[in-house]
Each structure stands twice: as C-alpha cells, then as structure tokens.
Amino acid sequence: MKNDMSTAQIFIEGSWQSSAGSKTFQAVDPRTGEAVGDAFPVSTWDDLEKALAAAAACDRTTRDWTGDRFAALLDAYAEELEARREEIVNLASQETALPVAPRLNDAEFPRTVNQLKTAAGEARDASWANPIVDADNNIRSMYRSLGPVFVIGPNNFPLAFNGISGGDFAAAVAAGNPVIAKAHPAHPGTSRLLAECVEKALSKTGFPPGFVQMIYDVAPEDGLRMIRDPRLAAVGFTGSQKAGVAIKEAADALGKPVYVEMSSINPVFVLPAYLEDSGENLVGEFSTSCLMGSGQFCTNPGLVVLPPGEATPAWIEAVRGRFSEAATNPLLAAGVKTSLLDSVQRLVNAGAELLTGGQAADSSGFIVQNTLLQVDAATFLNDPETFQREAFGNASLLVTTTDISQMAAIAGTLEGQLTGVVYTTEEPGDEAVYRELEPVLRRKVGRLLNNKMPTGVAVSPAMNHGGPFPATGHPGFTAVGLPASIRRFAMLECYDNVPEHRLPAALRTS
C-alpha cells in the first residue's frame, strides 16, 4: 500500500506528523483475516531521530520536576481515557477479537486506568525514590529519572501493557522519564486513540512537546539503532523471546538498563491427594484458565504435571472433554495462529500425543481448535528443551508421571518462569512431595502459587510479574507491582558535600 493522504500520522514532537516512512500496514480483523481501518506507517530512522531529539530536549526541562507533575499527567491521562472508554474498548475488540465484555470493558480497561492512577499516587508519594540523608557524613542519595525510555508493548494486552498506556509506560513516567512508545502493529487504531488521550493530558498539565511520543511500527534494525543511541536511557519490552533477546543484547552491550518480559510456560504440578480430593473442581479451573483469552496470557498454564495413580486418566479425559466442547475464539494475529500450529506439530513430532484439537478451526480467521497434548515424564525428561518451548495460545501439554519423584526432576529441567503452581493438600503425603519439589521450583519462578491458577496478575505492591531468565532478563525486578516497578527506570544519584540549594527537593533538610 502506498503512502497517501489517508495514512495515519505518528505522534512525535508534541504533534501529529506524517511519518517519513513510505511503507504502511493495516490492522487485521482476527475473525476474518481481513485488513481493517486506516493505513498506518512503518517508521524509518528519520522518525526515530526526531523522536529522540524531542525526548532529549523535553527531558532537559522535565528532569527537575517533582513527582506531583508526573502524577498530574498520569491522573489527567486516566481521566481522558475514561471519557473515551466506549470507543477505546470497541476498537480494541475489533482489532484483537478480545470480547468487549467482560475482558476489555470490565477487566482490562479498569485495570489500565487503575494502574495509571496508582502510579500517579506513587509518583506523588515518592517513597520509591528512597531518599537517604546521612547528615554526619553529609552524603545523600535517592533514585531519580534517567532519561528517555523506549517502551515496546506486546500484542496480547492492547491496553494494560500497551507501550503508551501499560505498566511499563506508567512506571517510566512515574519515575519522571520521557517515553517513546512503540504501539504493537496488531492494534494500531486503539493505540492512536490512546495517544490522542495522552495528547490532551499533556496539554492540560503543561508538559513540553516530546514527553510522550508514539510510533506504530519500525524495522528491527532501526529499533535496535534507537536502543543503541546515547540519547536513549532505558528500554522496557514485553513480547517474544526472539525479539526480547535481541533487544537485551543491544542494550546490555552498552550497560543500558533493559527490562524484557518474554516467554513462560508457567508449570503446574498437581500432587496426588489433591487430585484425589479436588480433581473435579480442578478440571474446570484449569480449562478456564488455559482457554481464557484464547490462552494468550504471559501466565497461561502451558504445562501440567500430573501424579501417578488411578485418578489421573479420568482427570485427563475430563479435561479433554472440556477442551473439545469449549468455544473457540480468534487468536490475535496470523502469526500467533501459525506459531501455535507449528508448536503443536513440534510437540507431536517429539513424541507428544494429541488428545484433542491441533488444527485450524477456520480458514480465513485466526481460530485454532482448543488443543490438549499429553506426554509421559520419561519422554519429557529425554528432551526437556523441546517439550518446554512455549506454545502461545489455547493449548497445554499434560505430563504423566509413573513415579512422584519425576515431578522434582521435571522442575529441575525448567528454564526461568514467571510463575509456578503447586496444587496440594496439607496431608502428609502431599507435604512430603511439596518439600522435595518446592526447593527445585522456587528459584525458577518469580511467583509461586498454591492451589490457584496463575492467570490473574493482581495489581498489588506484593506482586512479582517477573522471574529468572528467559522469563525476564533479571530476577530482581517486577513489571507489575507498584512502587517496585518504577525503580527499574531510575538511576541511583548520590550527592556528597553538596549544599542544600543545589540538591533535589527530596534530599534537602532545611
């Protein structure tokens, strides 16, 4: 498609401008596979250069502002979003095929607004900055902003993790950093609506041009060039492991803070007495968690390890029934469908048995049958790398064991994960298994759950939405959970023997 007058504009330098790029793309309706809406530009370096210059210029003004200014922006943005709620959730639903209700309107939209408001509260409160005054030595330190941040959002949350409205965005702004957002090309229209709300909020709160900017898409080499640019201070990314690793490598080589949230299969271990006692409830709980949103959650339970024993075959059969009966919904994009079908084929080729599903459910849209696979522990343990590769979407792999000690052995082969779950009673048999399993599992996961599916990620100060590599790039940081998530986008500033009038306000004592 050629770049004509109908091509959407990018939001840079405080205004809507035509992209210098001549390539364009359209959103695709996942229900039909057909292109919908306006043409959106793929930005080239010229756009990024402008955005970087504007962000750096803006930063020179805003870096000395106190938290209440950034809080005002976040609150104003939340208000603008509320005013266009219906339009936003409707367009997001069109572009992603996620249902307006309950998903977008009743869950993701309120969560997004709540995150922005909570981040505003933390920016105002400023305890995240941890000011320390050592009066005896006249040394003071606190965390402060570090400069323009590039936030790259994923396909699976058009609002709550969007580069221009999600958790990384809110954290980077709360810390006082200008943001250059890359919207995900799967929902460009939604992202444009969000940017229009930001624009109003920026204007109402008196921010200079360039504090928040947005592009729709960019070639990987230009994106990496921006990451390496000295004007860019940090990167937040949520998406695929392949892109995440490339981004992390580029930033790491320059010692630039980079936070990547990548793949996770979120293993679930079901202990024997639990399956006996509560297996029936678990059929529904697991099926709902796995198939919700067509399984397109970072914390989707993609691997379930089952105990030896008579209860297991019946439980598997019950889950198989649920999966085959449950409604299917479109996946987010053509690439998700292709990748899911490939992943299922790979698992089958490696020796997994297909219990149900495994095929495209329509020809033009992006629907894949709900898919359940099964493999025995010995086969899994023979090639754990293949069997734990993520199959993003409405699919899960069940692992049957013949000896309960295989549970810890399987846990021992896992890469880092966002979450890990153990379903267990408090009976002595389960407790003994737990005591073997937990030490192996604990350090492999950011969040350890008992008797609860991992798909809900509460916005709680105690939340850890993070975990060891390759779930993320560093096990000490979380992408959800304020105020901890803010400190990712900050540097530690120390002032030694600096007089009061030259200190940031939070470090002054008189």
| DSSP bridge pairs for 182 | 152, 215
Quick check: 65 binds a copy of itself (CB under 8 A)? no
Q: How many residues does the chain have?
A: 510
Binding mask 208-227 for a copy of itself (x = CB under 8 A): --------------------
Quick check: 481 binds a copy of itself (CB under 8 A)? yes
| DSSP bridge pairs for 492 | 143
Pairing of strands 10-12, 15-17: antiparallel
Tokens of 3: 């770049």
Helices and strands: H and E segment counts in the chain: 15, 19
Residues 72-111 that bind a copy of itself (CB under 8 A): none
Residues 245-274 that bind a copy of itself (CB under 8 A): 248-249, 252-257
Closest CA to 147 of 224, 52, 44: 52
User: Minimum distance between the CB of residue 295 and a copy of itself, rounded to whole angstroms?
Assistant: 20
Closest CA to 398 of 433, 430, 456, 353: 353
Quick check: 500 binds a copy of itself (CB under 8 A)? no
* Residue 298 appears among annotated catalytic residues: yes
Quick check: 147 binds a copy of itself (CB under 8 A)? yes
CB under 8 A, 24+ apart: contacts of 401-404: 401/305, 401/306, 401/307, 401/308, 401/376, 401/377, 402/308, 402/376, 402/377, 402/378, 403/308, 403/377, 404/272, 404/307, 404/308, 404/433
Binding mask 366-405 for a copy of itself (x = CB under 8 A): ----------------------------------------
Phi, psi of 209 (to 5 degrees): -60, 140
Of 372 and 480, the one with the shorter C-beta distance to a copy of itself is 480
Tokens of 185: 């090309």
Quick check: 132 binds a copy of itself (CB under 8 A)? yes
User: Minimum distance between the CB of residue 83 and a copy of itself, rounded to whole angstroms?
Assistant: 30
- Active-site position among 80, 95, 261, 415: 261
Binding mask 439-468 for a copy of itself (x = CB under 8 A): x--xx--xxxxxxx-x---x-xxxxx-x-x
User: Minimum distance between the CB of residue 56 and a copy of itself, rounded to whole angstroms?
Assistant: 11
Quick check: 167 binds a copy of itself (CB under 8 A)? no
Quick check: 242 binds a copy of itself (CB under 8 A)? no
Quick check: 495 binds a copy of itself (CB under 8 A)? yes
* Residue 199 appears among annotated catalytic residues: no
Quick check: 137 binds a copy of itself (CB under 8 A)? yes
Residue range at the interface with a copy of itself (CB under 8 A); choices 33-41, 112-120, 363-371, 488-496: 488-496
Q: What is the DSSP code (8-state) at residue 208? A: P
The answer to whether 217 touches 193, Cβ cutoff 8 Å, is no
The answer to whether 160 touches 166, Cβ cutoff 8 Å, is yes
Task: Please select the residue that binds a copy of itself; options are 167, 239, 358, 416, rule is CB under 8 A.
Answer: 416
Residues with a known catalytic role? 261, 298
